[in-house]
Structure 1
């Protein structure tokens, strides 16, 4: 979904020079009739479409190019001059979508029906920008709640053009509870999540998460200029974006630093990953160094900064993606780095190092189906057991994993898409793998996070079971979009305004907070009864086994 706004009249002038923007108490229309806002000594010219005004592609950091590649992000200099903020900035470099040739023929009819990959705007290493979308009649002193969106894409892809933020703002206007919407680009793949001992020792791990944190600081500094309230900010994401939200909650010893005051996670929580410098991750770094021609250099990390963009980008793209045979065992993803994430994410949860803010977290019922399509060449139980052991739990013994194999049997009726009996049997092991992989990264971590935190902060959870009739993938990952009318969007907007997802349009009188005594799920269904309340007790034994194994042997 690409969105391009139409130019029209609107403007904002801002309030307090101490915050980094000009002093004024009124809104105005620029001399050319276009929406205009002044930040520092810079003038940003945006666009208007319908009831919203957009300021797009605003840089929040210095370009992470040249010697700033593979370094911590550096905040933008004070703005000066005139900026065209009417169109999206470039995407950060994207990972190539790779499918094993042996399975393409099997999965192409399924994958081909889905919208994968980035949009059509250019990619550039100079990509660290934010978009701000506001109601067209907002005033500087409106102090509206702020929704900060972090896109997903397996930490490999991410494109703000695919997510029409104006839909969120228009939805908030329809509910008469307006919000300001912010979206950010952050570095991806090897640019943002390069692993390895050298990266850890240099203190430059998880650069994509560091980018996100800097964008949140930008929101604190400038959002009042757009009519937003820096004291009413929630962070929100889907998939890798939701995982990012969860990791921002466990970063910095759980101190949110006032950067956000609530969190909304769709298909993502603090995940069961290990250390950035473990054996598997060091092999990824060494491979990148070798393919970039840096193996003979004394400082291999500095060499990676100095190789041409095209070389480094090609090396990143040559590394497997989430839709390759390795599936959710990603080469480039957040891991414990000793600084931003001082321990593995789930250990940080166990230690209680979690931002004490209200949160909502939910999953789709069939989280693992999309990610199991590329494993269609696994057809026997032995092959699948060996795959699970060698791909995810390389330091675990067969004895360690036997309870896990038993908890996820080859019985088709127990597999995903769930509740579909023996149907959707792409291969003899597909439904088993889909159940396992969806629970490993999404479902079990969500329940673990809730069980650890419900007594410390306000928590709510939901389950999306719509779309079960979709062949082979069912209620698949990211199908619960809030970028369209519906209960999830309304819950998000309610939460932004009240730090509580409840509201009159959800179809239930009360969505209770989650507790272990009453683990209530707001459940969205097909059919005549579109929403109901259910209990988060399904696959209890399997989730318990999964959590125990992944705590002992993080992936």
Structure 2
């Protein structure tokens, strides 16, 4: 016999009378109820809840829809599958097309009247994968003294989230998934003890890029979905229009044998090609889900599927929208790691020509004059002869790291100040892990995620030095103090750890950011003239190379 939502809710109230209007562990979300898990840590988790209908059949390549109603209590005690990613094996057992699932972690003592701040985290993956699935929010909740609610979720990536023909296939569905999840939070988070009027966006890499896009979506119109944002390594990739990205649709359809009947002469995908793509199994799509070069490039980019200018959700390039002031004005954190490009630049890059070709493949609108200027701004730091294996790895990683991550983040900080928002905070994560340093990675892309969530909460991806008794163990409570303070009060200083530096907001002069160093040390640093000059140039060419 199946338990109904009403019967389980009555049983829960009887078992947990001290909580009053208890949200633990069964929650009623109107369309269904979910049964979570009460942990001995005093935190309750609900895993794998549906925030949208399965994007299957006619919903494939379409905006997310509401989940269907179900009057039985659904199990929310284990993780769901992750969204299919580009380059993933067709036989993968850990990914699936039915993946629009959301996880919530909340203090067990919370009630529907608690109105706790909500941290809504968007994982990265270059919009081609979900790179941080199943992040565990217990570490942050404990660091906040059980005073926040944590939310994370999956969203469609690769062609499932970013295929468009500029006509029948809506663009930016992966971003629309994120907004659907935010709308779900606005509607339901009180049932978990959260405050829908105090939601802080978080995200790393493509998740941080998503934050920048939510800030400029719909021309910067504030729809009340979030109230502050903390972005780790915002990513400015090549942004095409829906029509410019049409070649991706066409080639994907051709590889899958779906070009037949596409002869209307309209230049748009007709019903035949779209119906054909929808008729394929996920395994068939995955067998052909790989990157191809941008027009004018020699090799496929690291990440081909990206948000596009669709003249609906987005009407401007990211640089241009911020320059115009068309963004939501809320308190923000934007920062990056010292060596954000090392994990992306091929370690065998041996000549300047190879370095330039890699950049051209990622940013096909780069001109020869622009590449020449970049070569001047970024001389090779390695003392080796051109042609030696790996000679230009660090030169390329320096260009790529600042072009795609560091300088865009500092630019956004500056635009917030220009448009009157003084609560704009910048940082540099400079915590050197001995193993990463030995491998030549320096302080690599988004490594601070392991400290913000705590090394035990990132599925074994944390550097060894971040664990208890490690050389950088003290960096964990330090950054968690700033982060949970920002989540709770929109100010990283209100509840920061005693003895840590005051995080001074960004300003035009001097341009200062908080530097996190090894051992948990923190200090404010002024941007040096060299980085300022390089960023000024990269910011100036950003629109012309379609960032």
Q: Which residue of structure 1 aligns with residue 540 of structure 2?
A: 548
Alignment length, in residue pairs? 488
Task: Give, in angstroms, the shift of residue 190 of structure 1.
Answer: 1.1
Q: Which residue of structure 2 aligns with residue 478 of structure 1?
A: 446
Distance 1:283 1:408, change over 3 A: farther
Q: Which residue of structure 2 aligns with residue 22 of structure 1?
A: none
Cα distance in structure 1, aligned partners of 2:233 and 2:389: 24
Task: Give, in angstroms, the shift of residue 38 of structure 1.
Answer: 1.7
Task: Give, in angstroms, the shift of residue 75 of structure 1.
Answer: 1.8
Distance 1:310 1:318, change over 3 A: farther
Q: Which residue of structure 1 aligns with residue 260 of structure 2?
A: 296
Q: Which residue of structure 1 aligns with residue 123 of structure 2?
A: 151
Q: Which residue of structure 1 aligns with residue 382 of structure 2?
A: 412
Q: Which residue of structure 2 aligns with residue 418 of structure 1?
A: none
Q: Which residue of structure 2 aligns with residue 461 of structure 1?
A: 426
Cα distance in structure 2, aligned partners of 1:10 and 1:478: 44
Q: How do residues 29-428 of structure 1 correspond to structure 2 at under 5 angstroms?
A: 35-40=25-30, 42-49=32-39, 50-96=41-87, 122-158=94-130, 161-173=133-145, 178-195=147-164, 198=165, 200-202=166-168, 204-268=170-234, 271-277=236-242, 279=244, 281-298=245-262, 299=270, 300-317=273-290, 329-372=302-345, 375-389=346-360, 391-412=361-382, 427-428=390-391
Kindly indicate whether the alpha-carbon contact (under 8 Å) linking 2:430 and 2:518 is maintained by their aligned counterparts in 1.
Answer: yes
Distance 1:427 1:160, change over 3 A: closer
Distance 1:371 1:11, change over 3 A: farther
Distance 1:442 1:397, change over 3 A: closer
Cα distance in structure 2, aligned partners of 1:145 and 1:327: 42
Cα distance in structure 2, aligned partners of 1:38 and 1:268: 36
- Deviation per residue, 1:389-433 (Å, 9 max, x gap): 3x14434432243212211222328xxxxxxx99xx971110011
Distance 1:520 1:341, change over 3 A: same
1:439 to 383, 397, 402: 402
Task: Give, in angstroms, the shift of residue 311 of structure 1.
Answer: 1.2
Cα distance in structure 1, aligned partners of 2:336 and 2:152: 22
Larger mean CA deviation between 283-292 and 444-453 belongs to: 283-292
Cα distance in structure 2, aligned partners of 1:139 and 1:185: 26
- Runs (4+) off by over 6 Å: 9-13
Cα distance in structure 1, aligned partners of 2:233 and 2:156: 21
Kindly indicate whether the alpha-carbon contact (under 8 Å) linking 1:92 and 1:186 is maintained by their aligned counterparts in 2.
Answer: yes
Distance 1:335 1:161, change over 3 A: closer
Answering whether residue 17 of structure 2 is matched by residue 26 of structure 1, we say: no
Task: Give, in angstroms, the shift of residue 210 of structure 1.
Answer: 0.3
Kindly indicate whether the alpha-carbon contact (under 8 Å) linking 1:11 and 1:35 is maintained by their aligned counterparts in 2.
Answer: no
Task: Give, in angstroms, the shift of residue 339 of structure 1.
Answer: 1.3
- Normalised TM-score (structure 2): 0.83
Answering whether residue 517 of structure 2 is matched by residue 525 of structure 1, we say: yes
- Normalised TM-score (structure 1): 0.82
The 3-state SS of whatever aligns with 1:370 is: coil
- Deviation per residue, 1:196-235 (Å, 9 max, x gap): xx2x223611111000000000001111111111100011
- Deviation per residue, 1:240-281 (Å, 9 max, x gap): 111111111111111230000000101115x253223465x3
The unaligned stretches of length 5 or more in structure 2 are 1-8, 14-18, 263-269, 455-475
The 3-state SS of whatever aligns with 2:138 is: helix
Larger mean CA deviation between 475-484 and 501-510 belongs to: 501-510
Answering whether residue 531 of structure 2 is matched by residue 539 of structure 1, we say: yes
Task: Give, in angstroms, the shift of residue 520 of structure 1.
Answer: 1.6
Cα distance in structure 1, aligned partners of 2:342 and 2:93: 29
Cα distance in structure 1, aligned partners of 2:71 and 2:292: 40
Kindly indicate whether the alpha-carbon contact (under 8 Å) linking 1:370 and 1:473 is maintained by their aligned counterparts in 2.
Answer: yes
Cα distance in structure 2, aligned partners of 1:254 and 1:549: 23
Task: Give, in angstroms, the shift of residue 12 of structure 1.
Answer: 7.3
Distance 1:224 1:386, change over 3 A: closer
The unaligned stretches of length 5 or more in structure 1 are 1-8, 14-24, 99-119, 414-420
Task: Give, in angstroms, the shift of residue 79 of structure 1.
Answer: 4.5
Kindly indicate whether the alpha-carbon contact (under 8 Å) linking 1:10 and 1:35 is maintained by their aligned counterparts in 2.
Answer: no
